[in-house]
Chains A and B, each alone.
Chain A
């Protein structure tokens, strides 16, 4: 199973084994990683699963869709490598992925 590392704002790291086919959001929820609220349950409709993808992984993770873009755009703390983790499917290609969690979800 692909391994994903979540780094909290205070530096605490959580490495989890994620099943292929789930999302980076659900892998966090299933493994009780704190810092992801996921209020809409993975519908790209609340932006409370915001993560910052480690820069070296950006090309593999890819760019947000138009719908995700419109949600991210309303977050005043959005940065270049911001993504909604519900919109990142876990694949074998993402084995080793590192994402940073923001100080606040909106």
Chain B
């Protein structure tokens, strides 16, 4: 890992720091939630910005909505290979997965599995999700402080994931653990060493390989593992590629919605007027769900690698350069959004946010995410007058997974 020579951003004034010194990738900006003024400065003064040195090497930041859209659309110039995160892959531990591939292989593998989260299938899942949400909410302590992240956000998304994989239900917290390990190295405190991380990911592979072997001999099931085991484009994947795609599906279904569930509670507590609107009009819930997903932006960025020279908003990007699309910034772009820093549950055109990405890599689980959040808030409103946030949330020190590890709350029933 290269020694960062840039100063620590959190100690600097975002209004006066020289533009060339700005490095929005620093973890402290994310764990202390101090990144937004730096992003505003970049949007206003250097919307396509080159950071010449960082923990992750040199990289371009793309911070405006329209510029991000331009990069998303042009997969011929901006490749998703070899990875879609700012951190480069370990040379001796590559995890191929279809989100980090370009057409045509990306399209073939994605098509194999996307049916499981397509709206037609989701109709059949609605009853299951609702009854699980009801059980989770009915088991919560009343009038007593607890961690919402663990009891609700993680529990609900992990149960959902276990359902989609047809994964042994009693072992479902392994999925949570593997998701955390996949996105966090030793520097986040989730594991002690890179060796431990790999060991745990190989346990994940071994577990899922057993499930694969059980299912490849049987009739094609409707769970994700059966689909991978029987799909033309995926049935001959090597173990590392199987692990890569598992990680993609686990993280995609877990880290994202988990943080939208937590972030929604925070946003409503910080905006009591909006909480009142919700109480008076539960019909606003579908629109609020989109606004939560925008406001939280559970994945802060996606990275591309330029494969040809390209001029983006006046800046010359060279083939080989690392290009980071900061969704967390584009979703606050005042050029496209009215009052972007405000949380407005009845916002017009709330669906027009960047959190799911755009173009061929657009989130395939978007409708499932929206459905889980919608059902959760419908059931919350039936039970509780308020989910009161007590104290400040604890944030994950990551510039990719944009979320929370702890949110203490007290429930107040109707």
The residues of A with any CB-CB pair to B shorter than 8 Å are 37-41, 43-48, 67, 70-71, 73-74, 76-77, 103-106
Contacts and interface: CB of A to CB of B under 8 A. Distances in A.
Given A43-B73, A70-B107, A76-B118, 18 more contacts: A38-B352, A39-B352, A41-B349, A41-B352, A43-B69, A45-B69, A45-B73, A45-B362, A46-B356, A46-B362, A67-B73, A74-B110, A76-B115, A104-B120, A104-B367, A105-B119, A106-B118, A106-B367
A29 to B, nearest CB: 9
Contacts of A45: 69, 72-73, 358-359, 362
A99 to B, nearest CB: 19
Contacts of B103: 70
Contacts of A106: 118-119, 367
Nearest to A44: B73
Contacts of B360: 70-71, 74
Contact of B111 (A37, A40, A43, A74): A74
Given A40-B69, A70-B360, A77 B351 contact: no
B349 to A, nearest CB: 8
Contact of B351 (A37, A47, A76, A103): A37
In this complex, the member of A71, A73, A106 whose beta carbon has the largest number of chain B beta carbons within 10 angstroms is A106
A45 B73 CA distance: 7
Nearest to A43: B69
A44 B73 CA distance: 8
B351 A39 contact: yes
B69 to A, nearest CB: 6
Given A46-B362, A104-B119, A73 B107 contact: yes
Interface string B325-369: 000000000000000000000000101100010111010000100
Nearest to B351: A39
A104 B367 CA distance: 10
B8 to A, nearest CB: 37
Contacts of B196: none
A77 B120 contact: yes
A91 to B, nearest CB: 25
Task: Please name the 7 residue pairs, one residue from A and one from B, whose CB atoms are nearest each other, closest first.
Answer: A104-B119, A45-B358, A39-B351, A45-B359, A41-B352, A40-B358, A76-B115
Interface string B161-195: 00000000000000000000000000000000000
A45 to B, nearest CB: 4
Interface in B355-409: 356, 358-360, 362, 367
Contacts of B359: 45, 71
A77 B72 contact: no
Contacts of B111: 74, 76
17 contacts: A37-B351, A38-B352, A44-B73, A46-B356, A46-B358, A46-B362, A47-B362, A48-B351, A71-B360, A74-B107, A74-B114, A74-B360, A76-B115, A76-B118, A77-B120, A103-B119, A106-B367
